[in-house]
Chain A
Amino acid sequence: MSFFRQLTEKSWLPGRSKGELPEGSVYYLPAQTIAVRLIMMVATVVFSLFVVAYGDRMALSDWHRFSEPSILWANTVVLILSSVAWHWATINARQGRLDGVKTGLLAGGGLALVFLIGQFMAWRQLADAGFYADTNPAYAFFYLLTAVHALHLLGGLVAWGRTVLRVWRGVAVAKVRLTVELCAVYWHFLLVVWLVLFALLWFT
């Protein structure tokens, strides 16, 4: 029964006889999966509102178009590779291969760190060129959107650090499989968010 079908239940009728289990169902999804989906839902709202604010502010006359640092292209490739590595880790976790999981985890997290360093370098390039957050709202949004995205990635790296610790302490692959899968989903989500933000920044 879907969520909305359950809303039509005539619950004032008492359940069937005691020997049978009463009606009612429980979602067969781990609680962590639902929690990660909810986190992504909230993050989607946050980023959507930033994008709406960007669109609204962009329409005003003082908006200054500028060329984003080209290092963002390299950063984007790195983040895509990070996502691929996470996917690799997921496949290996499903097949129970510890070595593959370790490789995927190290590559996924390491590349994410490289991406963050790359984003910081982009900031430095803009600042060195004399473009600060108070120079123009276009720059302010650049700093803001990249920073909020980076903070979400840092949150993901906390989960990554905990997973790496568990794997290196010898926890069975089957026990970290769900965590690896959820981290991978979150990474893919942040990649999509970045692609949208990057397109927005680049084309406007």
Chain B
Amino acid sequence: MAYFIPTAAEDVAPAEVAEVDLYHPHSFVTKYVFSQDAKVIAIQYSFTAIAIGLVALVLSWLMRLQLGFPDTFAFISAEAYYQFITMHGMIMVIYLLTALFLGGFGNYLIPLMVGARDMVFPYVNMLSYWIYLLAVLVLLASMFVPGGPTGAGWTLYPPQAILSGTPGSGAGIILMLVSLALFIVGFTMGGLNYVVTVLQARTRGMSLMRMPLTVWGIFVATILALLAFPALFVGAVMMSLDKILGTSFFMPAIVEFGELSDYDGGSPLLFQHLFWFFGHPEVYIVALPGFGIVSDLLATHARRNIFGYRMMVWAIVIIGGLSFIVWAHHMYVSGMNPYFGFFFATTTLIIAVPTALKVYNWILTLWKGNIHLTIPMLFAIGFIVTFVNGGITGLFLGNAVVDVPLSDTMFVVAHFHMVMGVAPILVIFGAIYHWFPKITGRMFNQTLGQIHFWVTFLGAYAIFLPLHYLGLLGVPRRYYEMSDTLFIPESAVTLNAFVSVVALTVGVAQVIFLFNMIWSAYKGKKADPNPWRATTLEWQTPENPPAHGNFGPELPVVYRWAYDYSVPGAKEDFIPQNVPQEEVPNTEGGLGLPMPAAHQPAE
């Protein structure tokens, strides 16, 4: 492989040349609807993801109503309950979190942060969004077909996913599988863009190791997704054929309503392996962008360089690699060979090492930092606490011997909601508050932001801490109602009611966030172009919000990494990435900082 290393001012990297030939929209439709501008596509992705996420939020309320107050709501039947569970899980994991982190933040931040004018393939990028929207519409359509959406659980395990006793086993499951396949096709188009843009379209001086960790997180998560989603695709295609054509890839010989079905000899375990070969990397597809964003929020709002940048990058890459060899820890109770269980328990513990390293580095970044408790910072700290909580219960469940008794209990629900529900959502909120002034050009309301954070953060703990306890009591997950089960004490019923009331309250509190965003976008105070005094390139654009092409006639040139905060000798407590060492205002009233010893000519 050949590389281009600029050696003279007239040499222009090939990526930069290509960027000059930008597409220019001429009408409202090409500017805001079928737009090829990554920033507009990002906003389209985000609005769609948040809208479908709100549907999933409402579904969770309905589930909590049933769990907290059984036999009260006639319209929540057992079938409907399973449909709520399934749609809630699938929407939150795939259509909200994955789409928002990669399609939303990826599209907005990658070009701006690496100093590019746009994604490398803008047309394909636009197609990516529209296919994603189609996938969402197909999923929503499944709610309106006879039998309703699938109620197979978000893991869609066969054989029950396509047997007639399961709710939505007709058109519902088919539409779900079609929607997933569409999502994967759409994502692959976007993913190609993110990876190629990071590799090819970085501006001059933006070496890989000068990229902000946000870009690193999204970049590695995209590679994971490109490698992991095919497993879900393969599983979805084969299950569709089992359902539509009557093949027996996954379907064993089985008695259905007293009659022997036509299926014969299929392997349900094969689907589980395919599903989790996708499913576990999916955890990190959601987590890695979160790790990156939190790193940048902490450094910016603590006015301190990120501790151990190289280690942070390596940890992201190593976690990405390891995430492909831990999948069967989701299958300890599937009857697998105990030696396999031992192997997967070991790899699960190993992946905790680079993850813990990141947590230590975040804490060391905060250590002696000039911590500003801004709204983004509150959410970032909230993420660290929540991720540690959820991560530690993950260590419990990662051990086969502990997992077996806890499997299929509320403990598991509590664990994964902490680690990949609440934690990423906190990052998303922090990120939205952080980049809101850049996206809209206006500031949000601080008081409403404070209220939103504390209600959400404390509320999430009030919901999910009790679920750990319920799980330890033995309360199973996926049960429509417990009725008079002997080993479930009365206190568990009361606790369930409490959790439901809090869940409804926290859910409604999100209206504060929505109101704040919408109101501030129009009526908020005009934002300074760099209100957080941040170093990264997206805050150095000539216009705020950045115009089409991002950086005006000249692309920025990068002279330093993304974390020059509180540099000794510098007048300001931040040095933007595009300021050369000779032009940094110093404490003596002049310009320039001394070159580091590594760059001094040898004597």
Is the CB–CB distance between A133 and B238 below 8 Å? no
Q: Which residues of B contact A38 (CB under 8 A)?
A: 192, 195-196, 226
The residues in B between 304 and 324 inclusive whose CB is less than 8 angstroms from any CB of A are: 305, 309-310, 313-314, 317
Q: Which residues of A contact B313 (CB under 8 A)?
A: 7
Is the CB–CB distance between B196 and A7 below 8 Å? no
Is the CB–CB distance between B564 and A22 below 8 Å? no
Docked CA distance A35–B230 (Å): 17
Min CB gap B233→A, angstroms: 7
Q: Pick from B246, B247, B557, B564: contact of A14, CB below 8 A.
A: B564
Docked CA distance A22–B599 (Å): 12
Docked CA distance A176–B522 (Å): 48
Q: Which residues of A contact B596 (CB under 8 A)?
A: 13-14
Is the CB–CB distance between B230 and A49 below 8 Å? yes
Is the CB–CB distance between A11 and B309 below 8 Å? yes
B18 interface residue (CB < 8 Å to A): yes
**Interface 9-mer from B8-16, B326-334, B398-406, B499-507:** B8-16
The residues in A between 1 and 58 inclusive whose CB is less than 8 angstroms from any CB of B are: 1-3, 6-18, 21-31, 34-35, 38-39, 41-42, 45-46, 49-50, 53, 56-57
Report the nearest B residue to A38, measured CB to CB.
B192
Q: Which residues of A contact B491 (CB under 8 A)?
A: none
The interface of chain A, by Cβ under 8 A from chain B, is 1-3, 6-18, 21-31, 34-35, 38-39, 41-42, 45-46, 49-50, 53, 56-57, 60-62, 132-134, 137, 140, 144, 148
Docked CA distance A13–B210 (Å): 10
Is the CB–CB distance between B310 and A46 below 8 Å? no
B518 interface residue (CB < 8 Å to A): no
Is the CB–CB distance between A14 and B560 below 8 Å? yes
Q: How large is the interface on B (under 10, 10 to 19, 20 to 34, 35 or more residues)?
A: 35 or more
**Interchain residue pairs with CB less than 8 A apart (20):** A3-B208, A6-B209, A7-B208, A13-B599, A14-B596, A15-B559, A17-B582, A17-B599, A21-B204, A22-B204, A22-B559, A24-B558, A27-B4, A28-B3, A35-B192, A45-B230, A46-B233, A49-B230, A49-B274, A134-B246
Is the CB–CB distance between A29 and B226 below 8 Å? no
**Interface 9-mer from B263-271, B388-396, B415-423, B438-446:** B263-271
Docked CA distance A19–B402 (Å): 62
Q: Pick from A1, A18, A24, A34: contact of B200, CB below 8 A.
A: A34
B587 interface residue (CB < 8 Å to A): no
Min CB gap A66→B, angstroms: 15
Is the CB–CB distance between A46 and B230 below 8 Å? yes
Is the CB–CB distance between B199 and A34 below 8 Å? yes
Report the nearest B residue to A56, measured CB to CB.
B270
Is the CB–CB distance between A17 and B208 below 8 Å? no
B486 interface residue (CB < 8 Å to A): no
Is the CB–CB distance between B121 and A137 below 8 Å? no
Min CB gap B296→A, angstroms: 15
Q: Which residues of B contact A11 (CB under 8 A)?
A: 207, 209-210, 309-310, 561
Q: Pick from B248, B310, B595: contact of A8, CB below 8 A.
A: B310
Report the nearest A residue to B245, measured CB to CB.
A133
Q: Which residues of A contact B14 (CB under 8 A)?
A: 26, 28, 30
Q: Which of A18, A26, A50, A132 has the largest count of B CB atoms less than 10 A from its CB? A: A26
Report the nearest B residue to A14, measured CB to CB.
B560
Interface string of B1-25 (1 = CB under 8 A from A): 1111111110001110010000000
The interface of chain B, by Cβ under 8 A from chain A, is 1-9, 13-15, 18, 120-121, 188, 192, 195-196, 199-202, 204-210, 226-227, 230-231, 233-234, 237-238, 241, 245-249, 262, 264-267, 270, 273-274, 277, 305, 309-310, 313-314, 317, 557-561, 563-564, 580-583, 593, 595-596, 598-599
Min CB gap B214→A, angstroms: 15
Is the CB–CB distance between B561 and A28 below 8 Å? no
Min CB gap B320→A, angstroms: 13
Min CB gap A106→B, angstroms: 27
Q: Which residues of B contact A24 (CB under 8 A)?
A: 202, 204-207, 210, 558
Q: Which residues of A contact B238 (CB under 8 A)?
A: 53, 144
Q: Which residues of A contact B195 (CB under 8 A)?
A: 34, 38
Q: Which residues of A contact B581 (CB under 8 A)?
A: 14-15, 17-18
Is the CB–CB distance between A7 and B310 below 8 Å? yes
Min CB gap B437→A, angstroms: 27
The 4 residue pairs across chains A and B that have the minimum distance between CB atoms: A62-B265, A24-B207, A22-B205, A28-B4
Q: Which residues of B contact A14 (CB under 8 A)?
A: 559-560, 564, 580-581, 593, 595-596
Min CB gap A177→B, angstroms: 15
Q: Pick from B2, B196, B209, B234: contact of A31, CB below 8 A.
A: B196
Report the nearest B residue to A139, measured CB to CB.
B247
Is the CB–CB distance between B196 and A34 below 8 Å? yes
Q: Which residues of B contact A34 (CB under 8 A)?
A: 195-196, 199-200
Docked CA distance A17–B15 (Å): 24
Min CB gap B252→A, angstroms: 9
Is the CB–CB distance between B1 and A29 below 8 Å? yes
Min CB gap A93→B, angstroms: 20
Is the CB–CB distance between B561 and A18 below 8 Å? no
Report the nearest B residue to A62, measured CB to CB.
B265
Is the CB–CB distance between A50 and B234 below 8 Å? yes
Is the CB–CB distance between B4 and A144 below 8 Å? no
Q: Pick from B120, B209, B264, B582: contact of A9, CB below 8 A.
A: B209
Q: Which residues of A contact B2 (CB under 8 A)?
A: 28-29
Q: Which residues of A contact B274 (CB under 8 A)?
A: 49, 53
Q: Which residues of B contact A21 (CB under 8 A)?
A: 6-9, 204-205, 557
Q: Pick from B200, B237, B245: contact of A134, CB below 8 A.
A: B245
Q: Pick from A9, A46, A61: contact of B208, CB below 8 A.
A: A9
New contact pairs (15) apart from A14-B593, A15-B560, A17-B599, CB-CB < 8 Å = A14-B560, A14-B564, A15-B558, A21-B557, A24-B204, A28-B3, A31-B18, A35-B121, A35-B192, A46-B234, A57-B266, A62-B264, A137-B266, A140-B245, A144-B237
Is the CB–CB distance between A61 and B265 below 8 Å? yes
On whether A35 and B196 interact (CB within 8 A), knowing A7-B317, A22-B559, A24-B206, the answer reads yes
On whether A134 and B247 interact (CB within 8 A), knowing A7-B310, A30-B14, the answer reads yes
Q: Pick from B207, B227, B234: contact of A23, CB below 8 A.
A: B207
Min CB gap A173→B, angstroms: 20
